[in-house]
Amino acid sequence: MKNVLPLSAFVLVLVAGTSSTGHAQVLTEANYDQLVPSGKEVDAIYGDYAIGNKSAKAVIAAPIATRNANMTVRSVGGCLLDLAVTEHESDQLSVFYPGRRKFPFAQISNKTGTVVVTSPGSDKRPKCEVTYRMNSNQPIMDITSTWTNTTNSDWTLALEDDIRADGGKEDMVKSPNGTHDLFYFHDIFWQQAYGVRADGFRIRTNSNSRESILTYQAEGGHAVIMKPGESFTLSRQMIVGKNQAEVMAIADELSGRPRCESVRLSIDDSSQTRVVGARMEIRSASGSRGTIVSDSTGFAETRLPPGEYTVKYIVDGVAVSEQPSLDLTVRANNSQTSLHNLPKLHRGQIAARITDGEGHPIPAKVEFKGNGDTPTPDWGPETAEHFVRNLAYTANGKFETALREGTYDVIVSHGPEHDAVFTKVVVEAGKTAELNASLKHSVQTPGWVSSDFHSHSSPSGDNTGSQKGRVLNLAAEHIEFAPCTEHNRVSTYEHHIADLGLKSFMATVSGMELTGSPLPLNHQNAFPMKYTPRTQDGGGPVTDGSPETQLERLALWDDRSEKLIQQNHPDMGWLFYDKDGDGTSDGGYSRSFPMMDVVEIHPIDHILKREQFDSRNGKAFNNNRMLNWLQLLNQGFRIYGVVNTDAHYNFHGSGWLRNWIQSSTDAPAKIDHKEMVHASEQGRLIMSNGPYLEATFAAGGKSCVSGQELTASDGKVEVRVRVQCPNWFDVDTVFLLVNGKVAEDFQFTRTDHADKFTDGVVKFDQTLNLTLKEDSHIVVVTGHQTEVLGDVMGPQGGAQHPAALTNPVFVDVDGNGFTPNKDTLEFPLPVKFKKP
C-alpha cells in the first residue's frame, strides 16, 4: 500500500498575508467581557482561550476531558466553541470538532494570535496537533491539523470534521447534502452565518437538524495513508459573517474569483417608508446567495460578485406576493445602493398600551391572527424574544410594530388570574392603529403566588430558545416565582429580570435540572443552588447512572444546603416499584425516596378521568402518573405533587401549567425563595392549568390547607371549596377524592347540581361536610369535562381541559396517627411501562 501523491501535495498553504496581529489569551474574570463574543449560543468559561481580531471573536475550549459546553454538546476540549463577527455579534455555533472527535486533546499552548492544541500519539493512534490562527484583518479562522503516525503500521487517515449547530426550531439554512467547495450554514433570524473551505479539497457534507459531518476529498479522490513516522497537514478556513452572502463573498475571494462588490438594499412600502426587518432572498442563475435582513435603518448590506440577480422579499414572515421578485444588477468596481419601491405593500403601525384593571402597565402576551384575506404575521422563530411567530411579548405593557394593512383578530392576556381581551384591530396604510387593553385582575389569590418550577432555554443544550425570551414568556403569563432550571448547569434569570425591568413582577432563584441516565427517568430539579458564573456547569454537580446516587449528589451539594428536590416526569412504576424494569416489583429506587420533596404528576387534566394508562390516538404510551400518585399515597408514600410546563421554546411555552404556593407576601419582589421551598416541601401547593382552586379543611376546632394533617375523632371534616376563573374558560365539575376514590355524594356537575355553580368569576363556593370511617387523605379536584382552555394558551396548552387539584390533607380518625389503607384503586400497582 502506498500514498498516491507525495505528502507535500496535501499540505495546504495559508492565505498570503495572514500573519496574525490578533490576540490569544486565557479567559479570566478581568478579560472575559472584552474577549468573548455575544450571542445566545456562547458557552465560554474561565480557562478557555480567546482569539480574535478587529473582525471576529472566537473561543477555543480548554482541552480538559470533562469540558462540556452543555448537556448535549459534550467533550469540546480543544475545539472551536464560539465564533461571531464583530459587526454583529450573535454566536450561533455550538462547536466545531476538528478531526470528528477521534483525537482527544490534552495539551494547549498559545502565542500572539495563535492557539495550539495537541492530542498525544500512541502505538494505537496518531498524534494530532491543531493550530487555530485568526486572519489578521478578516473574519476567518485558519484551522490547521497535523497528524503524525506514532503507530507501527500504515495509517489511513480520515479527513473529517463535524459541526454542531442546531436549526430544528430556527430559520437556519445549511448546504444541501452533497459535495461542495464551500460548506455553509446561516441562521437568518439571529443573523450569523458560517462557512468552511479548504484549498485543494472539495467537502462532502451530510447534515441533519443538529449535526453536519464534513469529509474532505482531495482533487482526484486520493486516499491519505501515513507510514510510521510520517506526518500530514490539512488546512481549512472557517469564515463567519452576518449573512450567507457575506460568507460566500469571502470564500469567493479566497478562491481567486472576481472581487465582490458592496451592495446595500432596501424596500419602501406604499407610504415610501423603508421597511425594517424585511428579508431579501438573493438568487442568481447559479443558485442562492442567501437571505439578508434590513436593519433598524431599513437597509441590508452585503457583498455580491458582479452579475444578474433576482431578489424576493418577505415582510413579517409573509412573501410579498404582489411582486414576487425584482431584478438586481451588480457591476464590477461599483458599490451601490438599490432602493426598491413596492407600491402594493400597504403597511401601517400598531401602538399597544396594556394595563391592569387599575391602569398600571403590566407584562402581557398579544396574539395577532389575520382576519379574512389579511395574512397572519410570522415575526420570528420559536426561539425569539419580543416577537415570536404571531405573538408579541411586552415587559412593560408597551410595544410598537409595523403590520400589513388589514384586519386582525387580537387576544391580549396576562395569565389565568386576569381576564383576557378579545378584540379586532384595523391597520390602515401609513397610519397608526392604537391597541389599548385593560386586563382586569378578576381572580383574587391573596396569600398564594403562582410558580413554574421547570423551564429551559438554550443553555440547556437540548433547545435553542433565547433565555431572555423565556423570562419574557414567564412574566407575560404572570408567573410570579420562576427558578432557573437549565439542564446540567446552574444558571440564573436575574440579569434578564433586571434588564427587562421585571423585578416587581417576578422573583427567581438559581437552580438546575440534573439529567442523567437512564432516560427518561433520571431527571431531577433542585433549587436554590449556588451559581458560580462562567465555570463548568455553573458550579453544579455532574450526573450519575444511578438515580439514587444522582439524587444524593444533589441533596449533598453546596455543603448539604437546604433545597427543594423535584423528581421530574417519572415513570412511577419504574421509579417506585420496578428498578430493573423486568415487569416484577422489586422495591424500585428506594434509596432515593427520602430525598424527593415533590414529584411531577402532569398531564393534569387526566385527574378528571383516572385510567390505568395515558393514551394517544387510542394507544397506551405511558403509565398514568395521576392514578399512580394516588396509589402511592394509599401505600404510605407521602410525596407531594407539582405540575410544570417543562417549556423549551417561547411560543406559548410557559403559562399553561402552574402551581399556586402559599406565601406570606403577594408582592413578587418580596418573595423569599426559602419560604417557597418550605411551603412546597409541606404540600401547601395547588396544581392547575388555569382554575384557581381554594380549599380549607377543618376538624376538631382546627383548620388547615393542603399538605397538612388533621385529627377528626368523630370522622367529621368540613371542606370549604372555592373556584375562580377569568373570562376565557370555565369549570363544570368539582369533586372530592377520598383515598383516591370519588367520594359518594361529593361529585358535583353543572348539569346535575346547577344550584351550586355560578357564572361569575367565582364558579363554585360551597362548604362540604364529610364523614370519614377510616384514616383518609382528601384531594379536591375541579375542571371541565368537555371544554378546553382555548386560544389564549396556544395550540398545546389550549388543547387541555381546565383542571386543578389540591395536594392531599391527611385525616387521622382513630387518634393513632395516619395509617394508609393500601388500596390500589382497582388497578395493579405499576411496574415499568412497556408499550403493548
How high does pLDDT run on average in the chain?
94
pLDDT in the model for residue 509: 98
Closest CA to 660 of 608, 731, 574, 724: 724
In a domain, 693, yes or no: yes
535 and 636 share a domain? Answer: yes
Domain that holds residue 627: 448-812
Pairing relationship of beta strands 114-119 and 127-134 according to DSSP bridges: antiparallel
Q: Report helix, strand or coil for 637.
A: coil
pLDDT-above-70 percentage for the chain: 97
381 and 486 share a domain? Answer: no
In a domain, 579, yes or no: yes
For the domain that residue 317 is a member of, what is the CATH number? 2.60.40.10
Cβ–Cβ under 8 Å, residues 460 and 514: no
379 and 484 share a domain? Answer: no
> Which of 341, 360, 390 corresponds to the end of one domain?
341
For the domain that residue 429 is a member of, what is the CATH number? 2.60.40
19 and 125 share a domain? Answer: yes
475 and 500 share a domain? Answer: yes
661 and 759 share a domain? Answer: yes
416 and 303 share a domain? Answer: no
**What are the cell numbers at 667?**
408582592
pLDDT tens per residue, range 62-76: 999 999 999 999 999
For the chain, the 3-state helix, strand and coil shares in percent, each to the nearest 5, are 15, 40, 50
For the domain that residue 633 is a member of, what is the CATH number? 3.20.20.140
pLDDT tens per residue, range 283-295: 999 999 999 999 9
Taking 70 as the threshold, does the pLDDT of residue 456 lie above it? yes
- Residue 387: pLDDT band (50, 70, 90) is very high
In a domain, 170, yes or no: yes
Hey, what amino acid is at 732? D
In a domain, 826, yes or no: no
Closest CA to 575 of 398, 790, 831: 831
In a domain, 824, yes or no: no
pLDDT tens per residue, range 196-225: 999 999 999 999 999 999 999 998 778 899
715 and 614 share a domain? Answer: yes
> Which of 439, 474, 491 corresponds to the end of one domain?
439
**What are the cell numbers at 434?**
392604537
Closest CA to 454 of 648, 198, 315: 648
Return the ∠ at Cα 835 (arms to 832 and 836), rounded to 5°: 120
Tally of helices (H runs) and strands (E runs) in the chain: 9, 55
582 and 661 share a domain? Answer: yes
Q: Report helix, strand or coil for 138.
A: coil
pLDDT in the model for residue 481: 98
In a domain, 823, yes or no: no
CA distance 280 to 304: 13
> Which of 379, 410, 439 corresponds to the end of one domain?
439
Give the residue-averaged pLDDT of 723-731.
98
401 and 463 share a domain? Answer: no
pLDDT in the model for residue 236: 97
pLDDT tens per residue, range 115-151: 999 999 999 999 999 999 998 789 999 999 999 999 9
Task: Give the total number of structural domains in the chain.
Answer: 4
Write out the E strands in 709-828. Answer: 709-711, 716-724, 733-738, 741-749, 762-771, 776-783, 803-806, 809-812
| Exposed/middle/buried for residue 123 (C-beta within 10 Å: 0-12, 13-18, 19+) | exposed
220 and 114 share a domain? Answer: yes
pLDDT in the model for residue 22: 62
558 and 673 share a domain? Answer: yes
Give the residue-averaged pLDDT of 676-698.
98
Give the residue-averaged pLDDT of 810-816.
95
In a domain, 832, yes or no: no
pLDDT in the model for residue 15: 30
